[in-house]
Structure 1
């Protein structure tokens, strides 16, 4: 057995996270320890020459050589966190979920994978994806490239009423919200920004029409997240509301929120925040008697009208 085969064997063992003892290798190949040392030296030189992201090191504690990476790696804690978020989101169909989890686990050693897998096993077994069952990963990547290059595209889009039509859009940012991925895009038809759910896009291609917007007109995904709720379009407005629920929940729901006053003799606080009106109304109404909007007057009126419409549904004698 020649030295080239020995070195390939040793390198492959190192790549699979084995700790290699020089004496044991010498016995295995029936050569001297000096020959094995030369093999390690050759492998070390090969790593250097090829600029591979590894370093051959000796561990006194384990009495052997091991291969460590010089690249930043995801820790097992980080991989577990990302998988937990994926499972909770329910955003991917099972095929794409399993492929994504497999890719994340592949960044870990076999020992670390064995630690993570039992933790996620139960949630993975009971995972229920959303009903659309569409593949999203490739679409998210392609739309992201269109955003980077400011490319106008035509999409075949099925709206909430199950009607499909072709829209010409300039994608600006992709946002995940309440189980779904959306592309925020300038619509040629409406001459305004609109939100399109990615699972409702069934086809796309480069458009002959070109949409140009100035830098100032572009939508920032980071800024949009600060004010939009449930991906509902509307008018941006600064509101104040009294809240007697868990204050942290309200402040977390509205990232720009701040407590203006807090009554010492009650659990009620006055909160001010900037929001997009339609989405904010949906959340505020979900809080029932825990919330009372106090300004501006026009927004209070919107809340009142929504409550009256809801009450009318329950006041009707019709079944």
Structure 2
């Protein structure tokens, strides 16, 4: 066994939470304690050179060396929540979800992994991804790099009714909503930011065409859009008011800009005002049935009334 392989083996033991003693390692590898001391020195130097968040320390009580994190490690509780959220999203193929879960588990100790695996076993076994079946990890990463580089790209895109189109776009943000990843991109042809579902992108590549440029003021603000867009339906920005008889927190969570501006204790209702894009807001409001009554703006109320009449006509 050469020195490099021996040092990698020792480093792996340290990374997985083991305490390593010079005498035991010397016996295991058939080398002198001085050679093991040199190996530990090389590992310590590697940690410093790579600026890793670890420190190799000798613990007199245990009689060996341990690797200590120099910043707060991620907790097993946080890893469990991240895995639960990932599984609930249903956004990745089974293979990608499996690799993602295994990667997250590797961030914690073997003992913590053993504690978490039974908790997620059933949910992991019955995991059912959404139906598009497209791997996303590579595409999301490539799009993220293009966003950082402000790089104009060409995509081959499958629209809702399987029509294939080619679009030249400037990707500006990636957003996850309601089971799907979307890239928000500026399309110069339409002079507008449009939403493209990442799983419907069949090909993407850079282009030698004149790049699309946007000033800092024109750039898309993904944090702002999350406050206003629902179901990834942009539409027209409106300030709406509606009486609500349901669980108030559910409405406030759905509309991050919402505030309760009046209460009707006798009716068990509240009056809510929120700024949102009309198309996504309409989808949620209609889903609430008789729990909601939209009062403003007038044009939006008229549109809702027409839509409700069309719905009733189907019954």
TM-score when normalising by structure 2: 0.88
Of 209-218 and 53-62, the range deviating more from structure 2: 53-62
Following superposition of structure 1 onto structure 2, how do residues 1-319 of structure 1 map, counting pairs within 5 Å? Answer: 13-20=13-20, 36=33, 42-50=38-46, 51=48, 53=52, 54-59=54-59, 62=62, 64-207=64-207, 208-314=209-315
SS, match of residue 167 in structure 1: strand
Residues 230-289 of structure 1, C-alpha deviation per residue, up to 9 Å, x if partnerless? Answer: 001200011110001000000000011010011232320000100000000000000001
TM-score when normalising by structure 1: 0.87
- Check 1:263–1:3 CA distance in 2 against 1; reply closer, same or farther (3 A cut): closer
**Quick check: 2:25–2:36 contact (8 Å CA) kept in 1?**
no
**Quick check: 1:44–1:55 contact (8 Å CA) kept in 2?**
no
**Quick check: 1:7–1:39 contact (8 Å CA) kept in 2?**
no
Residue in structure 2 matched with residue 317 of structure 1 by the alignment: none
The alpha-carbon deviation at position 85 of structure 1 amounts to 0.7
Q: Which is higher, the Rg of structure 1 or of structure 2?
A: 1
Residues 1-29 of structure 1, C-alpha deviation per residue, up to 9 Å, x if partnerless? Answer: 99999978755543442224567668878
**Quick check: 2:26–2:36 contact (8 Å CA) kept in 1?**
no
- Check 1:10–1:215 CA distance in 2 against 1; reply closer, same or farther (3 A cut): closer
The alpha-carbon deviation at position 134 of structure 1 amounts to 0.5
Of 92-101 and 146-155, the range deviating more from structure 2: 146-155
SS, match of residue 212 in structure 2: coil
**Quick check: 2:22–2:36 contact (8 Å CA) kept in 1?**
no
Structure 1: any 5+ residue segments left out of the alignment?
Answer: 315-319
The alpha-carbon deviation at position 65 of structure 1 amounts to 3.3
- Check 1:18–1:191 CA distance in 2 against 1; reply closer, same or farther (3 A cut): same
- Check 1:25–1:147 CA distance in 2 against 1; reply closer, same or farther (3 A cut): closer
SS, match of residue 190 in structure 1: coil
- Check 1:3–1:223 CA distance in 2 against 1; reply closer, same or farther (3 A cut): closer
